[in-house]
Amino acid sequence: MAHYNLDSLDKKILKLIAKDARIPFLEVARLCNVSGAAIHQRIQKLTNLGVLKGSQFIIDPEMLGYETCAYIGLYLQNPATFDDVVEELKKIPEVVECHYTTGGFDMFIKLYARNNHHLLNVIHDKLQPLGLSRSETIISFNAIIDRQLPISELPVEDKDDAEEVFEEDE
């Protein structure tokens, strides 16, 4: 997988838009001391490279009555059905994440349920029919840390290279 080295302008842009995805590009440009066109070009470049994957509003499941967050390790009866199981998991609206993992699980999912009774119904009625040999459920009481990767901790490419890229954007 290719990696993109951030320069100092990229980092500053990412910090600003990660903090507030609705910040106007002209405000980002003002705070970065560059033109609006340069910000548009950089954001387009970061999007094309896959560094940025869009912006979205974050819905609080609890505010909609989904009070139980659970992580479930799934063991498949037949691991060869993995791709089919993933397609079926995509049809279950309570499932919000699915991961390939190391360890004993064939896959690891995150889901939201209205309560523990609803969670039991999802496991019994929606997950078990997918061909599970068993599952292990962990209920999260509260997300104490819930953040994106801190941009300030990421390395910056060589200053000379960053200035060269910046001059091209102007």
CATH-assigned architecture of domain 8-56 = Orthogonal Bundle (1.10)
Please answer whether residues 75 and 134 qualify as being in contact, where contact means their C-beta atoms are separated by less than 8 angstroms: yes
CA angle at residue 85 from 97 to 106, to 5 degrees? 70
Give 111's strand partners.
70, 95
pLDDT one digit per residue (tens) for the chain, 170 residues: 677 788 999 999 999 998 898 999 999 999 999 999 999 999 999 999 999 998 888 899 999 999 999 999 999 999 899 999 999 999 999 999 999 988 999 999 999 999 999 999 999 999 999 999 999 999 999 999 988 888 877 666 655 544 444 444 44
CATH topology of domain 61-140: Alpha-Beta Plaits (3.30.70)
**Which residue is associated with the tokens 């999260």?**
140
Domain with CATH 3.30.70.920 in the chain: 61-140
- Whole-model pTM: value is 0.78
Start-to-end C-alpha separation, the chain: 29
d(CA 43, CA 38): 9
**pLDDT value for 161:** 46
Using CB atoms within 10 Å of the CB of residue 14, give its burial: 0 to 12 exposed, 13 to 18 middle, 19+ buried: buried
Domain(s) labelled CATH 1.10.10.10 in the chain stretch across 8-56
137: CB partners within 8 A, 6+ apart: 70, 71, 72, 119, 123
